[in-house]
Every structure is written in structure tokens, then in C-alpha cells.
Structure 1
Amino acid sequence: MNTEPLLNHLVTAVIVINGDLKLCYANSAAEQLLGLGSHRLTEHKLTDCYQVLSVESELLSIAIREHQGLTVNTANIVTLDGHHHTVDITLTPIETAETSAQGLLELRQVDQQRRIHQQLTLDAQQQAAQYLVRNLAHEIKNPLGGLRGAAQLLARELEDAEQREFTDLIIEQADRLRNLVDRLLGPQKPTQHSLHNIHEVIQKVLKLVNVTLPSNIHLIQDYDPSIPDIEMDQEQLQQAVLNIVQNAIQALETGTEGGEIRIKTRTEHQVTIGTMRHKLVLALSIIDNGPGIKPELMDTLFYPMVTGREQGSGLGLSIAHNFARLHGGRIDCSSVAGKTEFTILLPLNGL
């Protein structure tokens, strides 16, 4: 029985390599993962087929030569075209009649599973945070309202303008705290959705940011014009995109000439969001070539009040995530030095 057609139907990348890491075979999933055709793959060493792999190549070579198995979970790989993936690696020695030892290398992508787990965890934690904030909001707003009212009454009794400055300050700070609580709570009621084009939303955002855009930053538009209109709350999605674009600008504005923000729209097939699998989704990516996000912030990036900037409120990404969630979508983020990419995924229902 010819096993090659069966191997080409697997979703796991299967590669056969020898002790010198020369590729002897690669199935279709391996071609897709590495972005190279099988003929090109089998002409090169494994180390020539990627930019970065978080497993030492010498470790693979030794395991093959000594006929030892090897398993590495959640290894990072950056392909030649710059795509980042997380894979589980299994190396199994192969008993062959050939003089050189060989190993069967399996690379199973776990990006999707990690994203689903991260999204479910993030949603649960954000719901718990919002529940806590709602309870705190009532405890904060009631005394704030009393404080503001007392300051207004006191201001009416004061004739000295200098003394009224202090009551005005109390009122101003009470309003600021109330607005902060309202922003933390986010939208309290379901909003009306209607058909709009995502590119119209993006253009409105670009119009806003162009007014104050630093001269060292360039905006690049890379749109797929075939994307249909989708059901949305236009203001919410505009705010979500604006928050992410402003974060990218703040990451680049202190740099030298050559700052670049690319706004890209595409469609993706068979994407799981939460527990739902969608045939087709809109992928709106905001990509900058800034210094990247600190690794210790990545897991808590969308939590309220988490920020990497001294003057940041830590609400922009939390609000953007909440608005994406209210549209049945999610936001993914990947970041290394020189490339940070936020992708808003929204279902294209009925397609």
C-alpha cells in the first residue's frame, strides 16, 4: 500500500530527516507550515527552512544518531516568510536498511488551540473583573454623587471666587472619577447593529489620527475590496480600531524616521472563535514595526488597567477586546522586536 497519499491528508507536518538534518521527505502539511514546496525542501537542510526554531538543531541531530526519541511541547518556529507558529515536536527514530540513521519529525501546530484557550480564559477573567467593577461602581458612584452635590451646594454659599475654585476642583475630580468608572464598565445595554463596510470605519479612524500623526510615522493601507458589509455597531468598532492604532502610534512616535503602521484586511476560512467555528471571518490587522511588547505583559494585555506606559490608563485594549467580543469576535496579538500585530477577527455570518 502506498502510504504517501495518506500522509498528505494529515494536518500534522511530517518530515523525514537524517543525522545531518538533510530532508528526505516532507508531506503537504509540512510544505504548508514552512511555506516551501517539497522539491525545494528535500534539496536543503532543515535549518535552511526556517528563521528561528526554539529547539537546538544539534539536539535533533544527536537524537537521530543515537536512535533516541524526543518530544518538545509548545516550541516556537518562525518560517522564512516571517510567520510565527507554536508547534509540538515529536522525533521518532526510524529503523531503515540504509547506512545513515533517520528520524521521523512531526510538527503539530497548536496555535489555534492556544488562542482558543487564551480567549476562553480571558473572557472568563474579564467577566469576573466586570462583575467586580460593577459592584464597586455602585459603592463608588453613590458617595461621589453626594460629594459632588455637597460641593455644588457649598459653591452657592461662597462669595469668594478663590474659595469657589476649590469646590470647582472637587466637582471636576468627582466627574473624572465617575467617567473612569463608566469607561471600566463599558456598554451596559445591547446596541443596535446595522450593515456597514469595514473600510469606511477604518477611513474614519485614519481621518482622526492623521490630524496629529507624527511626521516620522507612515500609514499603509492594504485592503481586500471584496469583503462584504457586515452587521456592526459602527461607533464601537471605530473605537476598537482607533484604540489599537493609537497604541501603535505611541509605540513609534519616539523612534526615528521609518515608523510604519500597516492596516490590512483579509478573509480567513474555518476559524474557531470561542467555541464556535466559522466558515469565513474578517481579519483586520494593525501591524507596526516598533520595539514590540514586553513578554511579561502578553498574557495580561487585554486586562483593564494593564499598561506598559507610565501615562497609560490601561483601558484602550480592554475596551477594544470587549467591543470585539460584543460582535462575536476576538483580538489576537503577536509581538517581537520590529513587528507587533493585532488582528481583529469578526464572523462574516451567512457566508
Structure 2
Amino acid sequence: MNVDHIPDRELAVRPDSYSGPNLSPRGLHLQPRPLADGVFALMATTPPKDNNGVIIGLRAALVVDAGITPDVSARIQGLVVELTDRPLRYLVNTTYHGDHTFGNAAFPVETTVVSSRANREAMTDLEYEKRLRSANMYGDEAMLDAVTDWRRPDVVFDGRAEIDLGGRVVELWHFGPGNGPGDTVVHVPEARIAWTGNLLCHAGIAHMLLQGGPRPYLRTLRAMRQALPELATIVPGHGPMGDAGAAIDALSVYLERLDQEVAAAVQKGRSLEETMRACTDPWAQSLDPALVTALSAYHLPPGAAEVGMRTLCQNLHRLNVLATYRLYGDSPT
């Protein structure tokens, strides 16, 4: 099989005893965190629930991602009203996944939804997407019953676009496939800050290979580094903010090792379970110290965030091994 192939749909199968991220909005609180004048991260107070963002110009405001339900969308819009009197003119989806887009329809028609062309093209089967996200609701699946309309982006772009908010230009980038086919980065150049959705998280957090393998992802990261050399801070779709360079470095090292180890296992004729055991699990014992420090800011019970994140990363690593193994099939070259 072509190891550069990007499947049309997200991988539906999961490893045995897999436990993915809890994305239920129950207990979700979004804390506005000022990053620069008129630039706010809306940080979920419990990781790995979804983060959002608000960027404000002289004429208009922009929101990053819509939330997983109409109720979450309403809360995001309420925070915008608290932060500015500028009209909310733009909503950017960093990915097509429902936890980032199910709230699109709850935004007013005057708000233009923008994303990559690949993201819009992936938004075709609401019921399938709801079934996939239901696995991350942990008993709150009924909350997704409120999602009856999957509003697709009104405006799309291919590689790069700009949105002028008045005195502030926001850059939108699609560097290539990563977590999904259409990962979109929202960049505020003068603040050296970007919202990276599921493409890039804090260094030391496992990412998810849901539509494609390590090699296309690595090319995307290289393109991002080349295009945004001055980028300092990332606000990921999930988890704490982090240093952009450290995040790219850490994920690149992980993906390179994953690719090499799975390819070697397939060449040796190993089964999936044997490959799982053969591949290095960076989270088997502990987390990166910088990540532990970042997680301490969540004010959860002592050790809870660290233990929860390590367990999640171990599960995501198993998913990544499975995805890469299936992609290689009998031909790892």
C-alpha cells in the first residue's frame, strides 16, 4: 500500500481496551487567557477537553473553533461579548472533527465560517462523524442529539489565506495532512501565536494518526517550520499551550521513530500485537518534565492531570501503531 495515502475517512477501528480522550462538555469551563492586546486563548480548565480562541481587530472579531454542541457554541459567543463590543464576523475551523465543528450551526448567519478546502470536503456524513465522536463522550452521548445540522465552511482556501479584522491581519495556513487531511493553523503574526488544532500539541503529548501515516505528517511539520520560523507559542486544540519549536521537534522525533519501528516490524513479519510490543512507548514511565509543569497549572487534584495524560498518551500511541501498521500492510517501503 502507498504509505503516503490519505484515507477518505477517519480510521474507525481502535486497539483492544483502547480509551481515547474525554471530549464531553460536561464540566467544561473555558477560561479567557490574554496573550496579546485583543488576542485571547479560551482554555478548557480540564484537559483534554477542547480549547478555543478569540482574536479581535478594530472592525471585527474572530473565533477559533465552534465547540462540540450548540450549548458550548453559545458559551463561546457569550465570552466574545464579554471580551469585546466588535461584531463576531468570522469563525475558523482548525479541523472538520465534530468537537471543533458541531457548534458551527449555532453561530449566526452573519458569521462567516472559514476553513481549508480539505476540511469542508470531509464534512459529508454527520451521522458517521457523530458515531465516531460518541466514543469520546463517556456516558454523555445523548448530548450529541442536539447536533442536527453540520454547517460546512462558507469560505475555503487551499494553502494560505488572510482575514483582515481591521488593524490586525490573521493568517490561515494549510500545510498538508497531519491528524486529518485539512488541518488549519490560525496565525497572529505580530503576537507570534498560532492556534494549531489537532495538528500540533504541547511537546510530550501524543498526537493521533487518524487519516494517514507518519511520513505525510512529517512533511507537513517541515512546511510549517519553514513558513513560520518566528512562531513562538501554540494554542493547541487540546491540552496546555506550549513552545512551537519544541512541539515540532518532539513530534517529528516521535513520528520518525514510529515510522522506522513499524516498518521494521512489518518487514520481519510481526503481528500487530508483536509490533505494539516492539515499538517504543515514550509514555510508558513518565511525562516530559516541561509538560508536567504545564499540567500543574490546571489546579486539578495532585497528580491527576499527569496520570490522566500519561494514560491517554499510552492509548494514543497504541492507536498510532495500529494506524501505521495497517497503512504499511505488506509493503513498508
- Scaled by the length of structure 1, the TM-score of the pair is 0.24
- The structure that is strand-richer by fraction is 1
Instruction: Indicate the structure whose relative CO is greater, using CA pairs within 8 Å and at least 6 residues apart.
Output: 2
Which of these two proteins has the greater Rg computed from alpha carbons? 1
